[in-house]
Amino acid sequence: MLQIFDGHNDVVSKLLAEERASARALITEGAAPAARNFFQRNAQGHIDLPRAREGGFAGGLFSIYVGPDPQAPPPVGPVLGRHAGLDMPIKFPRPLELGFAQRTSMAQMGVLFRLQRESHDQLRVVRSLAEVQRCFDDGALAAVIHFEGAEAIDPQLDMLEVFYAAGLRSLGPVWSRANDFGEGVPYLFPHSPDTGPGLTDAGKALVRACNELGIVVDLSHMNERGFWDVQQLTTAPLVASHSNAHAMTPTPRNLTDRQLDAIRDSGGVVGVNLAIGFLGDGTDDPATPISRIVEHFEYLIKRMGIDHVGFGADLDGARVPDAVGDVAGLPRVVDGLTAAGYVDADLEKVTHGNWLRVLGQTWKGS
Ligand SMILES: [Zn+2]
SS3 content of the chain, % helix, strand, coil (to 5): 40, 15, 45
How far is ligand 1, taken at its centre, from the CA of residue 102, in Å? 19
Nearest partner of 175 among 167, 189, 162, 186, judged by Cα: 186
User: What pLDDT is recorded for position 178?
Assistant: 87
In sequence order, the 6+-apart residues with CB closer than 8 A to the CB of 152 are: 64, 66, 98, 101, 102, 104, 105, 106, 159, 163
Distance between CA atoms of residues 305 and 264, nearest Å: 8
The alpha carbon dihedral of 145, 293, 192, 231 has a sign of positive
How far is ligand 1, taken at its centre, from the CA of residue 238, in Å? 17
Q: What pLDDT digit, counting tens, does each position of 118-158 carry?
A: 999 999 999 999 999 999 999 999 999 999 999 999 999 99
Q: At what angle do helices 201-213 and 224-233 cross, to 10 degrees?
A: 50
Is the distance from CB of 159 to CB of 180 less than 8 angstroms? no
The alpha carbon dihedral of 165, 171, 176, 178 has a sign of positive
Is the distance from CB of 68 to CB of 93 less than 8 angstroms? yes
End-to-end CA distance of the chain: 26
**Which long-range contacts link 279-286 to residues 24+ away (Cβ below 8 Å)?**
279/244, 279/249, 279/321, 280/249, 281/249, 282/189, 282/190, 282/249, 282/250, 282/251, 284/82, 284/84, 284/85, 284/319, 286/319, 286/321, 286/322
- 150 backbone dihedrals φ, ψ, rounded to 5°: -100, 30
How far is ligand 1, taken at its centre, from the CA of residue 317, in Å? 7
Nearest partner of 238 among 228, 248, 247, judged by Cα: 228
Q: What pLDDT digit, counting tens, does each position of 33-90 carry?
A: 778 899 999 999 999 999 999 999 999 999 999 998 888 777 665 555 554 444 444 4
How many C-beta atoms lie closer than 10 Å to residue 133's C-beta? Answer: 15
How far is ligand 1, taken at its centre, from the CA of residue 29, in Å? 33
User: What pLDDT is recorded for position 37?
Assistant: 95
3-state secondary structure of 63: strand
Distance between CA atoms of residues 207 and 181, nearest Å: 9
Distance between CA atoms of residues 224 and 171, nearest Å: 17
How far is ligand 1, taken at its centre, from the CA of residue 187, in Å? 11
How far is ligand 1, taken at its centre, from the CA of residue 242, in Å? 7
Distance between CA atoms of residues 6 and 214, nearest Å: 19
Q: What confidence tier does 268 reach under pLDDT thresholds 50, 70, 90?
A: very high
How far is ligand 1, taken at its centre, from the CA of residue 363, in Å? 22
**Residue 182 reports pLDDT greater than 90:** yes
Is the distance from CB of 295 to CB of 305 less than 8 angstroms? no
Domains and CATH numbers, the chain: 4-362 (3.20.20.140)
* Window from 56-70, 181-195, 303-317 with minimum mean pLDDT: 181-195
User: What pLDDT is recorded for position 273?
Assistant: 98
pTM of the model: 0.95
How far is ligand 1, taken at its centre, from the CA of residue 217, in Å? 14
Distance between CA atoms of residues 322 and 287, nearest Å: 6
How far is ligand 1, taken at its centre, from the CA of residue 148, in Å? 7
Q: In sequence order, what are the beta bridge partners of 9?
A: 62, 315
Is the distance from CB of 12 to CB of 36 less than 8 angstroms? no
How far is ligand 1, taken at its centre, from the CA of residue 173, in Å? 12
User: What pLDDT is recorded for position 364?
Assistant: 80
Pairing of strands 57-64, 141-148: parallel
